[in-house]
Amino acid sequence: MTSEQNVFRNLFSAQSITSNRLYNFALDAVGKLQTNAAHTALASTIATTAAALGKEIGEVSSSLAVQKSSTQNNNQVVKSFAKFMSENEGVIRQALGGYNSIGYTQMYPQGITPYTNATKLQMVSLLKQVFDAATTHSSLLTPTMVSQLKGFTQQWNDSREAQNAKKGTVADNRTERTTNRLALENALLVAVHTIAATYPGDVATCSSFFSFSMLEAPSRRNRNAVNTPITPAK
């Protein structure tokens, strides 16, 4: 039976949805929405609110003492990302049309230095930059290159998941929803309902903009979060 709760509830308020997963879900949605000119305004709003939450997560996480194995995992992703972006700069530049091309400017706005000197706190913005550029200019890059460039976001997400799983009480507190998190939840809600209104009844098209499985823990990502009842946070 259809209920008001199922239709109008906040899809993103559940305590089971960590802020880290919500943030990565938002970045993924931004990349997909930006591929359609009609949805760039939605993407921009989500990106702005996501940036605030991402900064908050990064700032708090940096002040925590995490287990050495988790830190190494994060560091390995940073190192491999920096190495890939440096070693493949020439290939990417040629594919995108040279130094002055729009694609190269978006991928390397300040050259390779920000990548080679990347820190964990800078990874959030750098990964978004690469993900967006790879999405926008995917037709100029090989499918393998696109997959590798966009894949770093998931690698970083997975390393953060592993890290958070080993913490006790950490920055990503599932019982606390900050002002930045609420702002992102609302931006995502507006986007979901706007897309639903734009393509009424077209589940396939609407779903193409949102990867709801990213909101779940890795072991449960074979389930669809939209069709799974979510208990609103108290």
Provide the angle, in degrees to the nearest 10, between the axes of the packed helices 68-87 and 143-165. 160
Q: Which residues contact 43 (CB under 8 A, 6 or more apart)?
A: 29, 30, 33, 34
Instruction: Give the residue among 63, 42, 90, 4 at the shortest CA–CA distance from 209.
Output: 42
Q: Looking at the whole model, is its pTM more than 0.75? A: no
Domain span at residue 119 reads 67-166
What does the pLDDT look like over 187-211, one tens digit per residue? 999 999 999 999 999 999 999 999 9
29 neighbors 188 (Cβ within 8 angstroms): yes
How many structural domains comprise the chain?
Answer: 2
pLDDT in tens, 110-123: 999 999 998 888 89
132 and 178 fall within a common domain: no
Instruction: Tell me, yes or no, whether 57 and 90 share the same domain.
Output: no
Residue carrying the six token digits 């734009």: 198
pLDDT tier for residue 2 given thresholds of 50, 70 and 90 = low
Same domain for 58 and 116? no
- Residues 109 and 145 occupy one common structural domain: yes
> 89 and 71 share a domain?
yes
233: Cβ–Cβ under 8 A, 6 or more apart, which residues?
Answer: 13, 14, 15, 175, 177
pLDDT averaged over every residue in the chain: 82
Report residue 61's pLDDT band, with 50, 70 and 90 as the boundaries. Answer: low
